[in-house]
Amino acid sequence: MQNAEDAVHELDVVAYLHSGMLTTLKMCAPLLLAPLLSGLAIAIFQAITQISDATLSFLPKLCATIASAYYAGPFLSRTIADYMHQSLANLVLVGGQ
């Protein structure tokens, strides 16, 4: 058994889980919001012009996803690197020397 001062407290575990979920949200948001917004714009365009072609929205959504991955790439890599650095630093506190 561990000493009370060496044990990882429940609040620490909750903080680690919160950090992981926040990082997941940061990583997914750019890649999900771009096709969402482009799909909304295309849907409004289709409603205005009364074009009802389902394949019309595929290519712009694909291009928006690729563009958002390209432009958000540095942010995504920095975010995951910071999270891994923090996780590995906390691993030493939890697991040992």
Q: Looking at the whole model, is its pTM more than 0.95? A: no
Q: Is the pLDDT of residue 84 over 90?
A: yes
| pLDDT tens digit sequence for 12-55 | 778 888 999 999 999 999 999 999 999 999 989 988 988 877 77
Residue 63: pLDDT band by 50, 70, 90 thresholds? very high
User: How many C-alpha atoms does 40 have within 13 Å on its Cβ side?
Assistant: 5
Query: What is the spatial distance between Cα 4 and Cα 18, in angstroms, rounded to a whole number?
Result: 23
Closest CA relative to residue 46, chosen from 33, 68, 38: 38
Across the chain, mean pLDDT equals 85
Cβ neighbourhood burial of 90 (10 Å; 0-12, 13-18, 19+):
middle
Please report, as a single letter, which amino acid is at residue 79.
Answer: T
Which residue type is seen at 26? K
- What value does the mean pLDDT take over residues 49-70? 88
| Secondary structure class of 84 (helix, strand, coil) | helix
| Dihedral sign from CA coordinates of 83, 88, 94, 95 | positive
